[in-house]
């Protein structure tokens, strides 16, 4: 018989932030365990049902008994099993007796065996059938294994209060009260965590009363929705919340980050949205503070108008549907009023002391025991920002002031309460203090980009300070031996590296990587804990650059053609890659790439040969023709390269295909005549330089 299998563990409220991970692991573990034991028919699908008080899974097309299996087992090589007369040896007799016991057969004789090739030799094989196993037998093991492997960070110990296991100590993520196990309409006699399986479960804690009977596995979700007021599908619940929020928001915009939606969906079983308000006086506080306190502390959804300005109306998701929600609304309004009062108090208190006055106190904040305090770090970043500003032609005074104030808001009450607001609050406080707009902007922008896809700094000062801040971290932390290893990157150096690369790449900054890294390393002179990691960090940056360019859709060989040259400036990388893409489409590309690869190999074997070509030694017509063709296209190539017109430069080089072909067909480079050989190597060296100005096109060869 093939039916849907349903397993549910009904518990106390599960930890919301771990709920989906627990539910998915529960469903996946049972599905994979049954699949490995051949209980799943074609088309079997696992559906996880996850609510705050239950982990459940429904698996379609589950067999009641696994299929019989025919097993073919090697017994012994013929040379060991049979003597010279073809009779069974003692080894074979003993082996057959053991097999008979193992398989439950009365007697196995040599005539029951199959003689077949086994590599270069022959062996005897025994085939037998293993009868299928009842689902409940293997499911018990699968269920126990799955529960034992759930990703539970903290396990609770409790005692069973009822049933045959009363008094037994049980360990699980939260106290479990019921176990439901149905195959179709049939209860499976399972036990788990001191509970016996049944067809009973419970619905919503307040909107449903008593036990709910599940008639069969396929009616589980509908029964709980209709009778128990529980939406068991996590994504279905999340979708309902999203739709209800949008409806309640009306003409306003609702702020519903996915992480908040996930957490709220993990807190309710029957979501209902209610609208609440707070006093307009709180809107004098920066809206980022109000939004963060509503989202982080209370799991509320803030509303803005179409211009992005915060409204004094907000939305809550309740687990209780009622015709008289005023008590729920008033209670949540009291809670949020208290939270927003704290935020307003922090803001008003912070404004009483200027950011500049807080800077000396950074000496009391440890940055790293091998790199000093935050004030020392501020001085390093400031010196580096001034160098970068000079390179970019920016305003040194603004950069110096922006860097000085960049970390001062770490000492404010608001950032102490909400570390996520560092930089953002600094911007507000700097403007309140009368600092220049670009200085205030730099205080917040120097953290950008904070994450993948985040916006880059918009001002020149913000860009310079952001580069300096990330370079100081990358070089400093790496320099004390704290570079990323495997999945471990506690100082987010990968993120800092990507931020540096994105700014150089997307803002087309005309500065050299080597110069930036060298200047960053100079800030640590005199620190005995620091060892300049320049070359290692450079390689690290190029590896991150490869990944960044892959995300933009460039092919691996195209990226390698450009990045393998370790370009010191990244402001024209995109133009180079686009030129390489266009070159690859030309019919001449493959031949020139292969030729360039061949030239590269020749030059590796002839290092030290002068690159000066003696025209009198160009004896062969093919080498004369190549030399003439190179001289003919060189002005066009050099001019296009100087203008940054890399596509034109590569198209001009494509004209050399016929002459390059002719050279390699007719000219022996490695001739015994040393003068001729060196001259031909010099010719190829000049050609190599021309071909690789834009990119190493040998990387394009198949």
Residue 71: per-residue pLDDT: 87
CATH of the domain at 529: 1.10.3210
Q: Is there a single domain that holds both residue 536 and residue 615?
A: no
State the Cα angle at 63 between 57 and 66, rounded to 5°: 120
Q: Identify any residues that bridge with 485 across adjacent strands, giving them in sequence order.
A: 488
pLDDT of the residue at 107: 86
Residues 6 or more apart in contact with residue 80 via CB below 8 angstroms = 89, 91, 92
Whether 161 shows a pLDDT value over 90: the answer reads no
- With 0-12 / 13-18 / 19 or more C-beta atoms within 10 angstroms meaning exposed / middle / buried, residue 39 is buried
Question: Does residue 610 surpass a pLDDT of 80?
Answer: no
Q: What is the pLDDT of residue 666?
A: 92
Signed CA dihedral, 175, 181, 187, 192: sign only: negative
Q: Is the pLDDT of residue 634 over 90?
A: yes
Is 74 found in the same domain as 50? no
In a domain, 466, yes or no: yes
Residues 400 and 502 in one domain: yes
Between CA 442 and CA 456 the distance in angstroms is 11
Domain range enclosing 159? 2-66+134-226
For residues 62 and 3, what is the distance between their CA atoms, to the nearest angstrom? 5
Same domain, 389 and 249: no
In angstroms, the CA 193 to CA 165 distance is 9
Under 8 Å between Cβ of 239 and 205: no
Residue 401 and residue 537 in one domain: yes
The predicted model gives 155-164 an average pLDDT of 86
Q: Is 558 a member of any domain?
A: no
Is 561 a member of any domain? no
Q: Is the residue at 355 inside a domain?
A: no
**pLDDT band at 329, cuts 50/70/90?**
very high
Token pair of 282 as six digits: 């709180």
> Does some domain include residue 562?
no
Task: State whether 443 and 498 are in the same domain.
Answer: yes
At 43, give phi and psi (nearest 5°). Answer: 80, 10
Average pLDDT over residues 625-651: 93
Looking at the structure, tell me whether residues 264 and 392 fall in a common domain: no
Who's near 4: CB < 8 A, 6+ residues apart?
58, 59, 60, 61, 62, 183, 184, 216, 217, 218
Asked whether residue 518 falls in the same domain as residue 549, the answer is yes
Q: Are residues 693 and 619 in the same domain?
A: yes
Q: How many domains does the chain have?
A: 5
Tell me which of 200, 226, 252 is where a domain ends: 226
Mean pLDDT of 260-273: 97
What token pair was written down for 372? 């000093």
Average pLDDT for residues 629-654, to the nearest whole number? 93
- Report the greatest alpha carbon distance in the chain: 107
Mean pLDDT, to the nearest integer, of 613-639? Answer: 93
CA distances from 78 to 81, 97, 358 (A): 5, 17, 88
Does any domain span residue 365? no
* Cα–Cα separations (whole angstroms), residue 305 to 277, 290, 295, 308, 313: 15, 15, 18, 5, 10
Mean pLDDT calculated for residue range 53-70: 95
Same domain for 220 and 321, yes or no, is no
pLDDT band (50, 70, 90) for residue 70: confident
359 falls within a domain: no
Stretch 168-191: mean pLDDT, rounded? 96
What is the pLDDT at residue 165? Answer: 79
Model pLDDT, residue 605:
85
Please report whether residue 34 resides in a domain: yes
pLDDT tens-digit map of 567-581:
999 999 999 999 999
* pLDDT tens digits, 499-521: 999 999 999 999 999 999 999 99
Quick one: 389 and 449 in the same domain? yes
State mean pLDDT over 284-304.
Answer: 95
The tokens 């996590």 sit on which residue? 234
Closest CA to 291 of 312, 317, 322: 312
Same domain, 534 and 637: no
Domain final residue, candidates 204, 226, 248: 226
């Amino acid at each position: 018989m093939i039916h849907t299998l349903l397993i549910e563990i009904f518990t106390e409220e599960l930890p919301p932030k771990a709920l989906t991970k627990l539910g998915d692991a529960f469903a996946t573990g049972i599905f994979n365990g049954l699949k490995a034991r051949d209980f799943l028919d074609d088309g079997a699908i696992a559906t996880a049902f996850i609510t705050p008080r239950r982990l459940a899974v429904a698996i379609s097309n589950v067999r009641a008994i696994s299929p019989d299996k025919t097993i073919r087992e090697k017994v012994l090589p013929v040379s060991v099993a049979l003597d010279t007369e073809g009779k069974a040896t003692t080894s074979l007799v003993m082996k057959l007796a053991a097999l008979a016991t193992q398989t439950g057969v009365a007697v196995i004789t040599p005539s029951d065996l199959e003689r077949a090739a086994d590599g270069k030799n022959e062996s005897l094989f025994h085939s037998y059938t293993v009868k299928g196993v009842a689902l409940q037998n293997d499911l018990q093991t699968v269920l126990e294994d799955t529960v034992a492997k759930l990703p539970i960070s903290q396990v609770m110990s409790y005692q069973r209060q009822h049933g045959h296991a009363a008094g037994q100590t049980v360990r699980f993520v939260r106290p479990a009260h019921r176990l439901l196990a149905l195959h179709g309409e049939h209860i499976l006699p399972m036990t788990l965590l001191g509970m016996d399986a049944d067809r009973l479960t419970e619905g919503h804690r307040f909107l449903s009363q008593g036990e709910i009977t599940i008639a069969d596995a396929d009616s589980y979700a509908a029964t709980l929705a209709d009778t128990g007021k529980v939406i068991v599908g996590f994504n279905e619940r999340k979708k309902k919340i999203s739709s209800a929020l949008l409806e309640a928001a009306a003409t306003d915009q609702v702020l519903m980050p996915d992480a908040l939606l996930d957490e709220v969906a993990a807190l309710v079983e029957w979501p209902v949205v209610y609208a609440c308000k707070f006093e307009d006086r709180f809107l004098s506080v920066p809206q980022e503070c109000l939004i963060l306190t509503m989202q982080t502390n209370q799991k509320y959804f803030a509303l803005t108008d179409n211009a992005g300005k915060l409204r004094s109306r907000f939305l809550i998701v309740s687990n209780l549907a009622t015709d008289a929600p005023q008590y729920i609304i008033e209670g949540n309004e009291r809670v949020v009023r208290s939270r927003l009062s704290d935020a307003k108090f922090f803001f008003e208190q912070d404004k009483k002391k200027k950011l500049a006055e807080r800077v000396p106190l950074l000496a009391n904040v440890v940055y790293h025991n091998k790199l000093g305090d935050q004030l020392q770090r501020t001085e390093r970043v400031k010196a580096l920002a001034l160098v970068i500003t000079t390179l970019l032609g920016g305003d040194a005074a603004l950069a110096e002031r922006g860097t000085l104030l960049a970390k001062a808001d770490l000492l404010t009450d608001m950032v102490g309460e909400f570390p996520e607001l560092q930089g953002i609050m600094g911007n507000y406080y700097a403007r309140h203090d009368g600092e220049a707009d670009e200085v205030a902007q730099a205080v917040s922008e120097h953290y950008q980009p904070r994450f993948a896809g985040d916006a880059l700094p918009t001002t020149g000062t913000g860009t310079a300070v952001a580069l300096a801040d990330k370079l100081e971290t990358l070089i400093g932390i790496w320099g004390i031996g704290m570079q990323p290893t495997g999945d471990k990157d506690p100082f987010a150096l990968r993120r800092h590296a990507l931020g540096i690369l994105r700014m150089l790449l997307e803002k087309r900054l005309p500065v050299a990587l080597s110069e930036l890294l060298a200047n960053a390393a100079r800030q640590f002179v005199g620190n005995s804990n620091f060892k300049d990691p320049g070359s290692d960090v450079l390689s690290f940056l190029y590896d991150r650059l490869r990944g960044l360019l892959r995300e933009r859709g460039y092919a691996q060989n195209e990226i390698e053609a450009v990045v393998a040259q370790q370009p010191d400036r990244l402001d024209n990388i995109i133009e180079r890659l686009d030129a390489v893409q266009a070159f690859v489409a030309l019919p001449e590309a493959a031949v020139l790439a292969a030729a360039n690869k061949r030239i590269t190999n020749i030059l590796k074997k002839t290092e030290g040969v002068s690159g000066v070509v003696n025209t009198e030694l160009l004896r062969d017509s093919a080498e004369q023709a190549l030399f003439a063709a190179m001289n003919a296209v060189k002005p066009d190539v050099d001019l296009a390269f100087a203008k940054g017109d890399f596509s034109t430069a590569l198209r001009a080089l494509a004209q050399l295909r016929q002459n390059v072909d002719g050279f390699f067909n007719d000219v022996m480079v490695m001739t015994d005549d040393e003068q001729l050989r060196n001259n031909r190597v010099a010719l190829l060296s000049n050609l190599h330089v021309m071909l690789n100005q834009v990119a190493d096109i040998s990387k394009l060869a198949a």
